[in-house]
A and B are shown apart, each in its own frame.
Chain A
Amino acid sequence: MPAKASIEVRDLVVRYGAVAAVRGVSFEVGAGEHVTLLGPSGCGKTTTLRAIAGLEHPTSGEIRIGGDVVYSGAARVHVTPERRGLSMVFQSYAIWPHMSVFDNVAYGLRVRKLPSGEVAERVRWALDLVQMGALAARSAAQLSGGQQQRVALARAFVFSPAVLLFDEPLSNLDAKLRAEMRIEIKELQRRLGITSVYVTHDLEEALAISDRIVVMRDGVIEQVGSPAEIYDRPRSTFVADFVGSANLIRGRRRPDLEQEGLVVLETPGGLLVHGSAYGRHPGAEPLFSVRTVHVRLTRERPAAGARNVWPARIRRRVFQGDFTQYQLDWDGRTLVVRSASGDPFAEDDEVYLAVEPRHCVLLEDEPLRGGPSPPG
């Protein structure tokens, strides 16, 4: 069995009766790469993952693992999950309550008929990696949620699968434990170097553990890119909005004022906003996305000549601990700004706000999205 394997998904369609959960999805995962499928519930991410696992029977398309076709609609190939050489961590952990921790982890090794000495050795190694070595003899029914999660992890990687799949593994944990496990999973991925596909609806989780993120919506892919790309240069309003919080600025294009490769929009209130196109072409109704953290607030007017500097008034101030969220009256609308707590602004303060043009990201022109259209 290869230590790592690449995954290719081509034109995958999964239909339940009349409903298409996945409508023509294609992406690749390189050997040893960690890819996350990110999207709101019902976007088809879990269905895609389960199709890779073989637990879901797709309607059409093709899936290859390590170059071998494991599913092909055209060639009528469907390799059963147990023969795909994958492993998976389930949202519900799926720890067998009638076995001990040791037996749970040893399962995949025993299926592969390893000698018992080696089984014991590898189970110990895996449990130590997830810091559960001391609880090997415990009955699985007596574990807490976090402990079950660790056992599920150990069980999934102990037999060195070619690919590791994660189906929202942290969604049942509380926030603090979730942040902790996120780091542990990342650490584990790095150490084992196994190819992995991770499904989540949690942005922070996706940003933290992925090499690349596939953002999905309504059964199709919205954007593929590195965490920084996805965050800094969202392609569509959906990604801008779903991945963190963003302000959308709409306006009329002013090509006459454009220079240095920047795009200039004139807002309905007559303000000029300079932004970056990142190779995209402004359409009929150009739109900028500005992350709420990328807007700077100052009491004094910044140096003359700077672009994208406007006066505004603070209407609401909401203290949220790690940051403070302000709602500003700007251009006849509300702009949301998050800045590090400790800023001395109060409600009704008159301030200046400034945004660097590289943070005003031109979004791709989107045709109006109607109902589901047939794939292909």
Chain B
Amino acid sequence: MASWGSRLLAAAVGGAAAVLVLYPIAFLIQASLSVGDPQARPPEAYGLGNYTDLPRYSHIFGNTVLVAVIATVVAIVVGFVMGWILSRTNVPGRHAFEQLMALPYYVTPLMGALAWSLLGSPSGGFVNQAWRAAGGSGHLIDINSAWGIAWVMALFEGSVAFVMIGAVMKPMDPALEEASQVLGAGRTRTMLKVTLPLVIPGVLGATVFVFAEMLGSFSAALVLGLPNRFYVVTTAMYQLVSQYPPRFPTAAAMGVSLFGVMFVMIWLYRRIVRRGHYATITGKAFRPRVMRVGRLRWGLFALCLVYLAVAVVLPVLTLFSASVQRLATALIPARANLTLANYATAFSLDAVRSALGNSLLLGAATATLGVGVMAFLAWLIYRSRLPGAGGIEYVLMFPQAVPRLVFAFGMLWAWLIFPLPIYGTLWLLLIAYLTVFLPLGLRTIAGVILQVDRSLEESAQMCGAGWGYRMRTVTLPLLRPGLVAAWLLLFIASVRELGASILLMGPKAKVITPAIVESWFSTSTELTAAMALLQTLAVAVALVLLFTVARRVTQPAGE
């Protein structure tokens, strides 16, 4: 029977993907149990020593929780307020703002951290300079503190929280609130008794999700915390691995602990989301009821502007200003200080050029391969009725619970001993990207696949079309817009990946984001700013090119 062949293939691909995910995690756990010579592999002896030693680092765990809690609270408040303003009030320019809310995600925490470091470092930060010039003493803000790190992280995660909370608020049936009012409850009572309880599961889900992300976040804590020796778990792991002599087992134990906590968080998140799915989404289409807020709307409008200014405009402007100065001493550069030398340097440095080229190449490869593989996997999980599809999905979503740095650590360990000589090459990074972005790609593509009714494929089958013909004429054309979106997401995410790249990139195969971080710590601020902007520009140019091509491709074919 033909279906046996496809079943076998499906099982093989599912199994391979599972190995890709579980193999590094197994090595991570193995390393964490090594109590012999920390450099020896495979381990000389096994024990729980590394875990019982962890309390020595309790301050690091404390820092991590402190930063994550502050950042989560701020991000959720931002997300909730923005979600409410943009989906439930008649604030001017609602729809434009909704589109703009994606921008902070594109600015990335790394760029934000670099920019806010320039703005808020206690000694030379532009904000603190201004403060002292205005007669203040000491510093107004300290971006290198736990609060500062959390602030930067929250600004960017705020847009994620907005998307998640907005998704709950928007499709809420206005009749639910109207029913309450018709029955005699006032506005406030309706808000407290109807609106809030309906929204709470979504907000709670977003909170848990954001908190898990914050526990594993890396770049802001690295850029802002390292100069101050303020460590969180991920940066401490990075330090332990990159110092001499490295202490792999301790780092691995930290990683496993973090993984354990995040795993519980993600599990909790999925439970909340599944449970809280009840009333707000009914599948009917309606316009959410928009509240008339009178003159307050201009206040809310200003609030939206402030968020975007702080999260997007200010960081980009700051980096731009720094990149065109000989010495970045002021936010508004003096004319004599202006220069394009930083860009010239960045372009002339072979390392930067090749790193940027490598990143774009890797991004394109990851996205292309990833969309192919993930589309197949998504189809396998959600459409093929393969026995055990649920299990495969669970394994493939695993990387969501593992910070990329921790995952890369497992890969480092795993692929060093793997017979293929890919360690230190771009190939290893490609495998790493494909693995860590599995959940992102799968979720995006699954969303599209689930939207396409199964009967659309079945009716092609009933018309007599075989598998290949069906795929070509019905399934793929219907999925195309979603696949293009997934390609773009994977491309952007790969080009700007830091946590996995920084551990896995070899000296002869550099990529751009870790190169920017290296430059930040070892060369000049101004050059780093130029590099960061060049990266963003390169991504933007690549995207514009792609969009033009994609639009031509997705246009209804003229046959």
Interface residues of A (CB under 8 A from B): 53, 55, 78, 80-83, 85-88, 90-92, 94, 96-98, 107-108, 111-112, 139, 152, 155-156, 159, 165
Q: Is the CB–CB distance between A107 and B453 below 8 Å?
A: no
Q: Is the CB–CB distance between B460 and A107 below 8 Å?
A: yes
- What chain A residues lie within 8 Å of B283 (beta carbons)? none
Contact with A along B453-479 (1 / 0, CB 8 A): 101101111111110010001100110
Given the known interface contacts A78-B1, A92-B453, the answer about A86 and B460 at a Cβ–Cβ threshold of 8 Å is no
Q: Does B2 contact A (CB under 8 A)?
A: yes
- What chain B residues lie within 8 Å of A94 (beta carbons)? 453, 455-456, 458-459
Minimum C-beta distance from A136 to chain B (A): 14
Closest to A81 in B: B461
Other contacts beyond A80-B461, A107-B460, A111-B465: 7, CB < 8 A: A82-B464, A82-B465, A85-B464, A90-B458, A94-B455, A108-B463, A112-B464
Majority secondary structure of chain A interface residues (helix, strand, loop or mixed): mixed
A selection of 23 A-B contacts at a CB cut-off of 8 Å is A53-B462, A81-B462, A82-B461, A83-B464, A87-B462, A87-B463, A88-B459, A88-B462, A90-B455, A90-B459, A91-B455, A92-B453, A94-B453, A94-B459, A96-B459, A98-B556, A107-B465, A108-B463, A111-B463, A111-B469, A155-B459, A155-B463, A156-B462
Kindly identify, within residues 415 to 473 of chain B, every residue whose CB is under 8 Å from any CB belonging to chain A: 453, 455-456, 458-466, 469, 473
- What chain B residues lie within 8 Å of A92 (beta carbons)? 453, 455
How far is it, in angstroms, between the C-alpha of A139 and the C-alpha of B462 when the chains are bound? 22
Q: Is the CB–CB distance between B459 and A111 below 8 Å?
A: no
How far is it, in angstroms, between the C-alpha of A85 and the C-alpha of B456 when the chains are bound? 18
Contact size class for B? 20 to 34
How far is it, in angstroms, between the C-alpha of A108 and the C-alpha of B474 when the chains are bound? 12
Q: Is the CB–CB distance between B464 and A55 below 8 Å?
A: no
Closest to B463 in A: A108
Q: Which of B463, B466, B469 gathers most chain A CB within 10 Å?
A: B463
How far is it, in angstroms, between the C-alpha of A82 and the C-alpha of B474 when the chains are bound? 14
Q: Is the CB–CB distance between B461 and A98 below 8 Å?
A: no
Closest to B480 in A: A98
Task: Tell which of A96, A139, A155 touches B474, judged by Cβ atoms closer than 8 Å.
Answer: A96
Minimum C-beta distance from A2 to chain B (A): 15
Q: Is the CB–CB distance between A80 and B2 below 8 Å?
A: yes
Minimum C-beta distance from B210 to chain A (A): 36
Q: Which of B458, B460, B478 gathers most chain A CB within 10 Å?
A: B458
Closest to A106 in B: B463
How far is it, in angstroms, between the C-alpha of A218 and the C-alpha of B462 when the chains are bound? 27
How far is it, in angstroms, between the C-alpha of A344 and the C-alpha of B322 when the chains are bound? 95
- What chain A residues lie within 8 Å of B455 (beta carbons)? 90-92, 94
- What chain B residues lie within 8 Å of A78 (beta carbons)? 1, 3
Closest to A88 in B: B462
Q: Is the CB–CB distance between A98 and B478 below 8 Å?
A: yes
- What chain A residues lie within 8 Å of B464 (beta carbons)? 82-83, 85, 108, 111-112, 159
What 9 A-B pairs come out closest when comparing CB atoms? A108-B463, A94-B459, A94-B455, A88-B462, A90-B455, A81-B461, A111-B464, A111-B465, A82-B464
How far is it, in angstroms, between the C-alpha of A48 and the C-alpha of B334 when the chains are bound? 81
Minimum C-beta distance from A293 to chain B (A): 38
How far is it, in angstroms, between the C-alpha of A153 and the C-alpha of B357 when the chains are bound? 54
Closest to B478 in A: A98
